[in-house]
Amino acid sequence: MSLDESTRGKIDNLITSHPVMLFMKGNRQAPQCGFSAKVVSILDDYLSDYETLDVLSNGDIREGIKTYSSWPTIPQLYVGGEFLGGCDIITEMAGAGELFSALGVEPPETTVPTINVTDEAAKMLEQAAAQNGGEGQHLHLSVSRDWQTSLSMAPQNPMDVQVTANGVILMVDQFSTVRADGISITLVETAEGNNGFKVDNPNAPTLGEMSVQELKALMDSDESFEFLDVRTPNEFETARIPSAVLLDEAQYQRMLGLPKQTKIVFICHHGPRGVNAGQQYISQGFTNVHNVTGGIEAWSSEIDPSVPRY
């Protein structure tokens, strides 16, 4: 299939304008296929900023990029204007520790986490490894950027750090070591009467609840923070707190580029939408996230009655 000059020009411009350019299905915040989600999850560990393009919304590029790269599948990653690979290649490079140099990123310091496993959990883990493993297979523990812990069987790779916990040998990938430090694994009985593992991670951030009185004190202080309103544009026009910024797509993208320790406060009408937004930002790695309890309704009734209620 030939590639028309207009589409070729679009692709040329994208890969030369952005040091790291990912052609994917969906976007970074909402991948639309498992392969795209996998590559995004890998890149997010290495980079805070990179560009993506949703091929599902750009039909000419969806087919054109396959011809351009002579690669039949999506996603496709370009670094420094050069095609690096698709999902399988990126996954292999990450596992082999080769993605650091390809992306121009320094590897993190290698640390050995402390992992606590009860006697009952250790026995069950050893049994599971014996039953589900095989030659060259090892028990792996990983903690994702959104603090989801997983246990799996897989071969050891150069990015793994070996940890012995109550006699159980675990492989922990290099990005998970800090997030996994201090984890406790216990054996619990599920609602169905089966045994399961319960993982407690003291490092996982939680969403803070902030009263409107605490918000007023914060606003009156000199402390720097991001104050975001997650209601609809119509609601925002109906009633607003002057210092709050409506969270639209442009603000969303700006926020993702901020330091992960940035203090963020969300407000909505009554509170639930602020909780959802806060949890989403925690899943992106932010660690100082708060929601205003009661939302702008509480602000109007308890702090500033000049703000309309609706």
Domains of the chain: 5-103 (3.40.30.10), 115-200 (2.60.300.12), 208-302 (3.40.250.10)
Kindly give the parts of the chain with pLDDT less than 70. 1
Question: Do you find a cis peptide bond into 75, omega within 30 degrees of 0?
Answer: yes
State residue 3's pLDDT score: 86
Kindly report, residue by residue over 183-234, the tens digit of the pLDDT.
Answer: 999 999 887 878 899 999 999 889 999 999 999 999 999 999 999 999 999 9
Kindly report, residue by residue over 104-135, the tens digit of the pLDDT.
Answer: 999 888 899 999 999 999 999 999 898 887 88
State residue 139's pLDDT score: 96
State residue 81's pLDDT score: 96
The strand pair at 288-292 and 20-24 is best described as unpaired
State residue 212's pLDDT score: 98
Token pair listed for 109: 């310091």
Candidates 123, 117, 120, 116; CA nearest to 181 is: 116
Token pair listed for 303: 């702090």
State residue 1's pLDDT score: 60
Residue type, 85: G
Q: Which residues of 6-43 are buried (b: 16+ CB within 10 A; e: fewer)?
A: ebeebbeebbeebbbbbbbbbbbeebeeebbbbbbebb
CA distance 8 to 1: 13
State residue 308's pLDDT score: 96
